[in-house]
Every structure is written in structure tokens, then in C-alpha cells.
Amino acid sequence: MRNLVLFVWAALCLTSAGWSQELRLPRIFSDHQVLQREQPIPVWGWAKPNQKVTVALQTKVAVTKADAQGHWSVSLPAMEAGGPYSLMVVSNKDKIELKDVLIGEVWLCSGQSNMEWPLSKANDAAAEISQANYPNMRLFTVERRVSLTPLDDLESGSWEACTPQTAADFSAVGYFFGRKLYNDLNVPIGLIHSSWGGTIAETWMSLENVSNVPDFEETAQRLSPEVIEQEMKVQQASLADLTSLFPALSNPAAVEKELLWKSPDTDISSWKTATLPAAWETFGWPEVDGVFWFSKTVTVPAGFSGDATLYLGQIDDSDQTWVNGELVGETWNKYDAPRVYSLKPGVLKAGKNVIVVRVTDTGGGGGIYGQTGVMRLEGKGLNISLDGEWQYRPSPTDLTKGGGNGMSPNSRPTLLYNGMIKALVPYAMRGAIWYQGESNAGRAYQYRALFPALIQDWRSQWGTELNFYFVQLANYMDANDQPIESGWAELREAQAMTLSLPKTGMAVTIDIGEAGDIHPRNKQDVGLRLALNALHTTYGKEIVFSGPTYQSMEVKGNEIWLSFTNTGTGLVAHDRYGYLKSFAIAGNDKEWHWAQARIVGDKVVVSSPEVLHPVAARYGWANNPEDANFYNKQGLPASPFRTDTWPGLTKGVK
């Protein structure tokens, strides 16, 4: 065997005395990479047209010929975990040698901001980073990129060994998932991180498959080259109109001069008018990212004094807010967080008061976009609605169209598949982990079809049934005193329904969210629960990998008996009270009431004196069911569920 290896390397080196850029590998291939074990290993790239290409990895050798466009691909035989090895690619006098290549388990980590969230911002970040020294765990981060057409390669990126320096900025969820696999499987782990905060699921899908999803047939027609070219012309014209309307500030202190707009004495007679709340895409600025200023004058009645509270609702992505020229609050990079700012006594005065908000958007929709009725100014004896007309002006000093390339990632489907996924195909991997859904919560019923279609899309692109594990949305926003309908609950339901696909699993996080922050810092448990799914379903470990999962119901008199799978070694109420909470029950009138719930063996029995003839039950059905405490004895929480199929908030919403 040793002689064979030496012969192969000698033959390659004899034909590779020179070096040029004619021979090229995609950027997903680099020193320190991990290749998938126990599967054929695709290797591809570019060379001179019709040129012979030889690829060698240890004793595995494959020979092919580049086509007329210079593209080539080979498939090396499957190998067991091991390394480090060198991967050699030779064509005529061109040679590429990749060093420190490992064979192990490769996973793709994708989604929106909670997958993008770095280790440096997770709980116990300093301690976690200092311990992130795993030389045989390798990390690759895909640079953000939007594209109208599928791209064959990435703009940048390389594999790096996991060290405190490289792990700090890597996906926290991906890191904790990989660390668990690394410690349990004792093989090299490769993690490819490709995510973008605030993005919708359909932007991660290919054109050929998103066009088959109900509600997206017409949208997909907008993706033809002819339509796209025409839209780009219209957008560039609108940007030209914008810059002519608000000429750029030309002096060196442009930003400082712009900040003077916070003053209540600013002349806003040339500013435009918009009705808020609304994203600025809806009032004439589609796909524009950057900074917009908003101003509103309100009249405070004579005699008012004391403190007050300013409610602005949600702002995408960041804001700085002034009242009468005084900064009263600022929030950065929290596109879904309600803005609530306290005004100390003396900020407001009787008569005219000016509220100024500087909004910064870095991608996707932008503006003060929350629900009607939320924007208001409150104090003792004071309640002023802020809905309605505001004056606004875009900032010409920081204005782009979709980051400068004419689009934002949510402009239309396929943009991030084209720019951040296609170039990874067909790199061999075991599967993917996914944390996304927040941006689709307003269309939760649609997600029932969309999310499974995304999984099937990726599987069709790779030509294999990738394992796919995802995170169910965490609890978020204010808790409710009474049972209510909930778009976030409906999105969680859509995620749970996707478990009907084979080789899927779900990490339930209903217990580790934060009411006031869409980005909970506990990423350790998220990564761990994803890894438990993988260890059980993909790697065959006999472990408890999920919390209780609703299976069926039976009505007995005035009680509903609920049955579950994944009960582990038993069911428990997981807090100091010792009894179950967050269950609700309803009769044919569809009026929900909190239920008394008790554990009987592997079942839960629910009832309410207000519902004599129950027909349906729910658990954890809210944006933030903060009292949800139903677990198995292994400490894994039950997934929220409902037994009814009554229409909710998002049925029919497209």
C-alpha cells in the first residue's frame, strides 16, 4: 500500500512542474477542510477546455476530462474517518495541493439571525470561547451574497480549525451542535455556516422548486431574466430620482450635519409624507436599504408635567429616537423588538413637541412597521396616538439599493439559494441544521407547504436524502393572561407538521426564549437539542432525543385524555409548583379556558369547570407561553400543540 501511495504522488508531481490559474477548485475546497466519510466524495472545478484532470486523495485516484467550457467533476470512493491527508489535483502543468484534509462528518448550518448569532454573544461567551479548542473540528463561513442567478462559486471563504479565535465569530448554534457531535462520535467534524438574519424561507430555495409551491407560481414568473432586467431599470431610475430630490451632502462633515436633523427647529418643509406604521417599501422605496429620518409634531395639553412613555412598535433594523432634540432611546439590530422608551420629567412640554426617529436598515424591509394602534405617547392624563402622517427624508449619505447590488435578500425567492447555497452543491455532507421561521410567522399556514418544500428542494439538489434537523421557534413577546390565537404558535405547528418527512427532527426551545429579545442568548441548549436528534436518528444512538410529543386525544365525560410519544422515563411538571400549566380547553363554542391538568401514567388529563362538554385542548399555544412546564424526566420540553383544526390568524394569508 505504501508503494502505491508513493507511485501515485510521484506520477502527479512529474506532470505538475508548473503552476498557473487555469486549474481551479471552488472555494469550498481549501486547506483544513473536512470531507464526508462513508459516502462517495465529489470533487469538481475548472481547467482548460478538454484537458485531462487527475484527482488523488490517499490511494484513491480519479481521472476525467474537462468539458468544452472547462468544467470537470469526479467522484472519489467513500473513505472512513481519518486524516490529515493531502488532496492533489493535476491538469497538464497545473497543480493544486490541499493540505491537512480530514475525513469525518460534515453539516450545513443555515437559517436567519438565530443561526447567524455568533458564539461571542451567547451565554457565558468568554468561558465558552476560551474552551473552543478542537483541532479536528473545522469551520467554514459563507459570505453573505445575493444573486439573481445561481452562482457556481463563492466570493470568499476558507476552512479553519476551531480555536478560540475562529470560533468567536462563528454561529453559536452551529458550534454547540458540532461540539456535541465531536465529543460523542470521536471523528472530525466539518461545519459550513450559511445564514442571513431576517430572511424568509423562500429566498433559500431554487427556482425550479419554489415555483411548484402553492402561492408562489406567480411570484416565480417574476424571476425570468426579462422581468428582472426591466425591474432593475425601474429601480435604478427611482434611485436617480431620490438622489436628485435630496442631493448628497458634499462637505466633509456630512454625517455631523445630517445629525442636526434631530433638532425640533429643523426645516422639514421639503420632506415627504408617509402614513405609519409601515415599511418604507410600501410607500415608494422598494428594496432600498440605508437610513431614513422620520419626524412628527404632537401637541401636549397645557398643565401636563411628569414622566411619560413613548411606544413606537417594531422598527427594522435599528433606531435612534429624540424628543425635542434629546436622545430618549436607541436600539440596534433588533428588527422585531418593540421600541418602548421612557421620557423623564421635563422632556415633554405643553404645546408643540417634536419626535424624530433615525432608522437604519441593513437588508430586507425597513422602517417603523409594527401594528396599528401600538404607536403612542402615554403619561398621567396623556394618551396621544402616533399612528398616521409622519414627515420623512432618506439620508443620501448612507443609501443603497439592496446593499449596492440592486436587491435585498427578501426581495424575491431564490436570491440566497443562488448566492449562498448553489455553490456548495454537490459537496458531500451528512445533513443540515436549520433555525428560521420568525420572518415567515405572519404566513404560518403557508409555511406548512413551504418548509417541507425547502427540505425536499435541498435534497433534490444534492441528489440524496439529507438529514435535516430544525429549531422550533422559542417563546417571545409579552405573555398573555388568557388563551389567545397566535401566529407564532401556528408557525411552530407548521414546523412540527414537517416531521412527517423522513430523516427530520425538531429541537423544541419553548422554554429558553426571552420575552423582550428575539435572539435568546442560550444557544447551548439549542445546539445540544439539535445534536440529540442527530445522534439518535442519524447515528443510531439509543438516547432520549425529544420531549413529549402529542399523539392523540380521547374525550371521557368532561375530561380530555391526551396521549404522547417521546415520554422518556416519565412525564413531569418541571418547576417548583409541581402541577402542569399552559393547558387550555374548549367546547363547541370555541371559547378557550385555562385547564386543570394532571399526569396519569404516560397521559395528561385536562378539564375545566367552565367547559362541561370539551372537544379540544391546547398546550403552550401563544407567542410566549412563559409558564409552559410540561417535560419528560430527561429534561426535554414538550412541543406546543393543539388537538383542533380550527382556522387561526394566518389561514389564507399569502
pLDDT tens per residue, range 246-299? 554 434 455 556 778 999 999 999 899 999 999 888 887 776 778 899 999 999
State the average pLDDT for the chain. 90
CB count within 10 Å of CB 501 equals 14
The long-range contacts involving 225-234, CB below 8 angstroms and separated by at least 24 positions, are 225/149, 228/148, 232/406
Task: Tell me the CA distances in angstroms from 473 to 107, 177, 412, 507, 623, one per residue in order.
Answer: 21, 17, 23, 9, 9
Q: Mapped to the 3 state alphabet, what secondary structure does 624-652 carry?
A: CCCCCCEEECCCCECCCEECCCCCCCCCC
How many CB atoms within 10 Å of residue 607? Answer: 21
- SS3 category, 561: strand
The number of residues making up the chain comes to 654
What confidence tens digit (pLDDT) does each residue in 506-544 have?
999 999 999 988 899 999 999 999 999 999 999 999 999
Between CA 56 and CA 284 the distance in angstroms is 56
User: Is the backbone peptide bond immediately before 338 cis, with ω within 30 degrees of 0?
Assistant: no
pLDDT band at 139; cut points 50, 70, 90: very high
- CA dihedral defined by 213, 215, 216, 217, rounded to 10 degrees? 90
- Taking CA atoms, 97 is separated from 89, 102, 612, in Å, by 6, 14, 75
Where residue 11 falls among pLDDT bands split at 50, 70, 90?
A: very low
Task: Measure the CA–CA gap between 343 and 324, rounded to whole angstroms.
Answer: 11
Q: Tell me the percentage of the chain whose pLDDT exceeds 90.
A: 74
User: In b/e form, how buried is each residue of 78-96, taking b as 16+ CB within 10 angstroms?
Assistant: ebebebebebbbbbbebbb
Angstrom distance (rounded) from CA 207 to CA 465 = 20
One-letter identity of residue 355: I
Give the integer Cα–Cα distance in Å for 643 and 551: 9
Where do we find the cell 476558507?
A: 158
Cell numbers of 390, please?
Answer: 409622519
pLDDT for 609 beyond 90: yes
Q: What is the pLDDT of residues 456-510, one digit of tens each?
A: 999 999 999 999 999 999 999 989 999 999 999 999 999 999 999 999 999 999 9
Task: Yes or no: say if 528 and 635 are a contact pair by the CB < 8 Å rule.
Answer: no
**Is the separation of the CB atoms in 329 and 321 below 8 Å?**
yes
> What pLDDT digit, counting tens, does each position of 198-248 carry?
899 999 999 989 989 988 887 767 677 677 677 667 666 665 665 555 554
Instruction: Give the integer Cα–Cα distance in Å for 276 and 274.
Output: 6
Maximal CA-CA distance, the chain: 96
CA 378 to CA 76: how far, in whole Å? 68
How confident is the model at residue 20, as a pLDDT? 42
Could you tell me whether strands 467-471 and 504-507 are parallel, antiparallel, or unpaired per DSSP bridges?
parallel
Model pTM above 0.85:
no
Alpha-carbon span 75 to 361, nearest angstrom: 44
